[in-house]
Structure formats: structure tokens, C-alpha cells
Amino acid sequence: MASGVTVAVVGATGAAGQTTLRILEERKFPVRELRAFASERSVGKTVTFRGEAIRIQKIEAAAFKGVDIAFCSAGSAQSKEYAPLIRKAGATVVDKSNAFRMDPTVPLVVPEINPHAARRHQGILACPNCTTIVTVMPLKPLHDAGRLRRVIATSYQAVSGAGVNGIAELREQTLAWARGEAREPRHFLHRIAFNLIPAIDRFGPDGYTGEEMKLVNETRKILEAPDILISPTTVRVPVFTCHSIAVTAETEEKITPARARDLFARFPGLRLWDDPAQNRYPMPVEVEGQDDCFVGRIREDLSSPTGLNFWVVGDQLRKGAATNAVQIAELLLG
């Protein structure tokens, strides 16, 4: 591995794929050769990596021969089709979709939290949902210190979590509003500009959406704590980048706000940003483009003697997707 590895990025033209290319550059990942893949309509186009134009290739088994690590930034259906093919070609797959997250044979990894899980991989490793990653980062130190019993989490999710179409729709609707024009939604079910949509993904028979259940099931798997009670709500908001989550965390052992601040400040990948007197608290416009998750507004929960309330914000394209995936690959090399 001293001379570098051959890396493939599947879905290289999408928002997550583009961010993956950027993170590989920024973290100086030892890429000897990069191969880029996307849908058939993108074959022949190029993406840029380290100043070089990389031609988009067609996804087929022969194209992955010699690849060491493949990042899949496509949808679940595509990952289910392509990941086994890529693994059979000899590569280790780091998948960002929902395809394998709850597969008991596939590690679901946040490197700051459960790096040991990566050692159990059988050729495929999964990245959690972006909201789960941002939420679970501050939950981990609380769980280690006081054992989590119950979590209430309400997420405020940026449009880039829906990909390039979500970004375009917010921009187009905002510009149309400024011109006094009406613009019907095309990607989201309802208008997103100057609006909130309190549902992401499809509803299940219990009234919860798939996005909400990801937060429940993935958090339990990552923390290896299947008995934690979790109540989720997800909301799409007219913000381009960064997911924000309002969290109430109830622990078996009481953790004071002062101790929580100390735990958060010491935990890798978290940045304490908590000074209400100076109007200092995490906001998407300040967290965008950064890999750390920012946590603040830490206070006792008025309804529970062992509860804490806090607010956490993370760039879901970076730590919520691409950075976490590259960190997993770094674990593999390490």
C-alpha cells in the first residue's frame, strides 16, 4: 500500500460523489489511480481530481479489476446491484446508501465511535444515514458516561440531503419568489422555499417515515444498545447545507450540563460551541464546509431529572457522508 491504492467512486457526478472527491484530496488519501463511475447518461463526461480530468466509465465488472477500495455514492437500488459485483471483482466497498446498513453481516461505522466494527467486514462496510451520524456523535460520550435510556431527536434537514435536485429546487423557487413568479415543486412534494416539510421519505403504517426509522435503528446498531428508546421527527427545511438536530437525551446516571460540555469538548470530531450570553451556538451557515459536528445550547431538560437538551449541527455532505466514508477507508488502510 506504500505506493498508494486504486480507488473507485461510483456516483461521482452527484453531490455526495463530488464531495468524496474533494475529501480524498483534502485528506491526502493515498490514491494511486482514481476511477470514476456514474449513470450511463454520464459516461464519457469528466470529473476533476487533483487538477486532472477523469473520464466517467460505465459500471461493469471488468472496470473494477484492480480496484482496492470503492466508494458507492449511488442510491440503495444501485448499491444492491453494484456492490456485490464490485466486491466480487476484489475491491472493498464503502457504501453510503441504505442498502446494507441493517444487514447483520455488514459493519455500520462511524470511526470516532465504533472503529472496531470495521474489522469484521466481509467486503462491504456501510456509512450511516447523514442525520444519524450528526446525532450519534454527541450521544456517544453521553452513553459512555451515563448510559442512554431515552432519546428524542427532531432533525432540520438541508435540501442537499436530497442531492443536486434538492439544491436546484430551493434555488429556483427562491429566485422565482423574488421575481414574483410561482414555481411548482418538481422534486419535493411541496414547495420548499420559505416553507418546512415535516416529512421526509414515505410513511409507514405507524405514521413514522423511513428517514425517522433510520435514526432509530442505526443509532441502536452503532452504539450496540438495542434497548435505547428513541423518538424521531424529521423535517426538511429551506437550508442548502447542514443538518441540525434538537436532542433530548435521558441517561441512567445524571450528567450535568457542565459535565456534558466537558465530555463534548473532549470527544474527537465534536466541537463545543456553547455561549448563549454571546449568542454563540451552532448554525448551518457557520458549520458548512467543516468536518466536525458543532454542539451547543446544552441545558437540563425541565421534564426529566436525568435529561439533557442540546442542539447539534453537522455538514451532512461531509461528516454526514463523504468524510465519514473516507475515514472508514483510512481505517482499512490503517
61-117 pLDDT per residue, tens? 999 999 999 999 888 999 999 999 999 999 999 999 999 999 999 999 999 999 999
CB contact burial 87-101 (16+ within 10 A = b; e otherwise)? bebebbbbbbbbbbb
Q: Encode pLDDT of 289-331 as tens digits.
A: 999 999 999 999 999 999 999 999 999 999 999 999 999 999 9
Confidence bin at 1 (pLDDT 50/70/90) = very low
Residue 243: active-site member: yes
Distance CA 68, CA 41 (A): 26
Active-site annotation holder among 130, 143, 242, 293: 130
Domain 5-128+321-333 has CATH 3.40.50.300: no
Position 15 scores a pLDDT of 85
Within the chain, all domains assigned CATH 3.30.360.10 are found at 132-316
Within the chain, all domains assigned CATH 3.40.50.720 are found at 5-128+321-333
Within 13 Å and on the Cβ side, how many CA atoms surround 85? 13
Sequence letter at residue 15:
A
Q: Which CATH topology does 132-316 take?
A: Dihydrodipicolinate Reductase; domain 2 (3.30.360)
What sign has the CA pseudo-torsion 206, 208, 209, 210?
A: negative
Contacts with 206 (C-beta within 8 Å, 6 or more apart), sequence order: none
Using a cut of 0.85, tell me whether the model's pTM lies above it: yes
Active-site annotation holder among 72, 121, 127, 243: 243
Residue 143: active-site member: no
